[in-house]
Structure 1
Amino acid sequence: MTVSVEWLDDWDAIAARAGDALDRTRRPILFDRLDWYRLMGTHLHPETPPAVLHADGGWLFLVGDGPGRAVALSKWYGLAWRPIIDEPAALAAMLVDAGRRYSRLILNPLDLAEANRLDAALKHAGWRAFTDRVSTNWTIDVTGKTFAEFWRERPGQLRNTTARRMKRHPLAITIHRRFDASAWADYEAIYADSWKPSEGSMPFLRALAEQEGAAGTLRLGIAKDGRGRAIAAQLWLIENGTATIHKLAHREGAKEISPGTILSHAMFRAAIDEDRVTRIDFGLGDEPYKAEWMDTPNPIYRIDAYRPDSLRGLAGIGRERAARLVRRFRGG
């Protein structure tokens, strides 16, 4: 059976073609929705039109990234990426067609299942694929647990340190479930005064917070000290039983009182006891503190795929093979 593939590079045209197929009502995961991709494209790739493949109800969201190269439409804020596919034949057809336009694809972040599926599909479509582990996603299943039960399972050092800090430095904590301009101003001020580098696009985060606040999934936690100054902030989204921690920051000058830990205690308690989530996702990154709150490390992968029938593709394959030989020689 022949599958027809079309390329779309305009967000309004994509929306018209998708109808409600990529809406919140049809896609339970944020990273599968058109409004997520549109925010990403508009704010993070403003000068580059999307390169979106559509075939038989399937979607592949890419963006051009130099001559002969495309990357997954994801960037800093994307905690997951995958083809949106109902029929396997659609994925095969789109990857074959992508090979007519590009000599290299960079696809990430991918969980293990997606990495395996894409690796097999790419090779079947004539690509040479190289898969590398690039990060970790920490999660925990809290099905049926109260916060008290969850907290008893955490390391003793975390529980004891948090108790001491909370007693010595009581903070006023508010968790906003709708977008609040004043709270958002606090978030931006905290982030600007934190240990973290400047955001790639604060307007993107604000647009996401406004969008999810309207949908009722936003949880924006702000912690203030005794003087009423906001010193820690966390941006969570809660939907369909899963709480996802997207961003957290505290003022560098307040780190000795551990405001982030105190705020985390409140955010986890609200998610478990009030929202009754069954799963908490700490996003990407293998920072040691995440293991204190979570219990399951999930590997995250990146695929670099090349067309062996193009000069650029052959050069890329050569570089990948050489890099792997060097790592093997060095024991990496």
Structure 2
Amino acid sequence: MRAPREYHSLDDVRQALAGRLGRGHVPALFGRLDWFEALHRHCCAQLPLRILHAQEGEAEVWLFLVAPAPRRISALANWYSFSWAPIFLGAPDPAAQARLLDAVARALLAQCAQIDLYPLEDGTELLNALRRAGWFTVSRPMGGRHLLKMEGRSFEDYWAARPGRLRNLVRRKGRNSPFALSISDRLTDDLWTDYVDVHARSWKDAEPASGLDFLRALAEREAAAGTLRLGFARLDGRAVATQLWTIEHGVALIHKLSHDRACDGGSPGTLLSHAMFEQAIDQDRVTLIDYGTGDNGYKRDWMEQRVPLQRIDAFNPRAASAWLPAARTAISALVG
């Protein structure tokens, strides 16, 4: 096996990968190079990149990381990321995956004092590799993803199984509703202006400019690929609720929701959700809908499965600077 290589430039990574983490090769959005490029450019460009690559024959592993402090590294991920994981190429079997992870874990031990990785859906193999390399590790549950598996159901079947309070709300608010609903797979300057306008009046905290730039880049890229679903509810022509979804390979991802708090009484966001789910299920024929991270109570009404997420913190026992953070993290994990 070659010694792991570290990259500090996404341009160099793109050249090394030669398209192998592009849309045509990677079905999942959160494992593509353009996802990591946009996330770093718009949301954390001030953080140095630490991208690790190990190879054994045709098998490879890539870890997309950043360095928020000297001798500390973190996953290249944030609140827009539904998941983060090592990315394997060349279809390595479990034994080969373990050897590749062992190699990068040893390389990190020689350079770093502390690692934090989140959100992981299943970090078992990575955790084991870190421990074999000599890291002191703490793994703890942290939030979850909310999923809906369609299993061949129509929207009518799905809707009949929703909680009565949700169905009654949609029935009452939908009767003589003043809101006009629309769903677009295109992105125009006018639609984006509407999106930003709704978000400024939303119950959510104000989106930082960098976040809006990231979301626009995402929407533009996915619109070009035909996977964008940008929904609006309008009152007298003005947008009062919006949702940004993507749909690809039968999987719908719900990225962002916003609504004008002044219109809460009419529930435009709920009515828009009803329309978005109906189109995704009956027209786009999705097999899975992913509401992303966060345990917001309203997600339980729409979804049926919660997948727990995991955070891994690893500390280099050879680095005295890691001892106190390690003790604090271990105690925090014990007390929940």
- TM band (smaller chain): over 0.9
Tell me which residue corresponds to 1:38.
Answer: 37
Correspondence list, 1:23-172, <5 A: 23-56=22-55, 57-86=60-89, 87=92, 88=97, 89-111=99-121, 114-172=122-180
* Structure 1 SS opposite 2:193: helix
**Number of positions where the alignment pairs a residue of Structure 1 with one of Structure 2:** 323
Displacement of 1:6: 0.7
Could you report, residue by residue, the CA deviation over 1:121-163 in whole angstroms, capped at 9, with x for unpaired residues? 2111211111111112110111311111111111111001101
- Distance in 2 separating the partners of 1:39 and 1:324: 32
Displacement of 1:321: 3.0
TM-score (norm. length: structure 1): 0.94
Correspondence list, 1:1-332, <5 A: 2-56=1-55, 57-86=60-89, 87=92, 88=97, 89-111=99-121, 114-200=122-208, 201-225=211-235, 227-324=236-333, 327=335, 332=336
- Percent identity (aligned): 40
Displacement of 1:324: 4.2
- Distance in 2 separating the partners of 1:124 and 1:240: 37
* Structure 2 SS opposite 1:85: strand
Could you report, residue by residue, the CA deviation over 1:159-200 in whole angstroms, capped at 9, with x for unpaired residues? 011011011424211111122221111111101111111224
- Distance in 1 separating the partners of 2:158 and 2:178: 22
**Contact conserved, 2:138 with 2:330, CA < 8 A, in 1?**
no
Which residue identity lines up with residue 185 of structure 1 in the other structure? T
**Contact conserved, 1:132 with 1:301, CA < 8 A, in 2?**
yes
Spell out structure 1 runs of 4+ moving beyond 4 A: none
Which residue identity lines up with residue 213 of structure 2 in the other structure? P
**Contact conserved, 2:75 with 2:116, CA < 8 A, in 1?**
yes
Which residue identity lines up with residue 67 of structure 1 in the other structure? P
Could you report, residue by residue, the CA deviation over 1:193-229 in whole angstroms, capped at 9, with x for unpaired residues? 111112241101000100111111110101101x111
* Structure 1 SS opposite 2:87: coil
TM-score (norm. length: structure 2): 0.93
Structure 1 vs Structure 2 CA RMSD: 1.3
- Distance in 1 separating the partners of 2:239 and 2:203: 15
**Contact conserved, 1:3 with 1:90, CA < 8 A, in 2?**
no
**Contact conserved, 1:54 with 1:60, CA < 8 A, in 2?**
yes
**Contact conserved, 1:139 with 1:280, CA < 8 A, in 2?**
yes
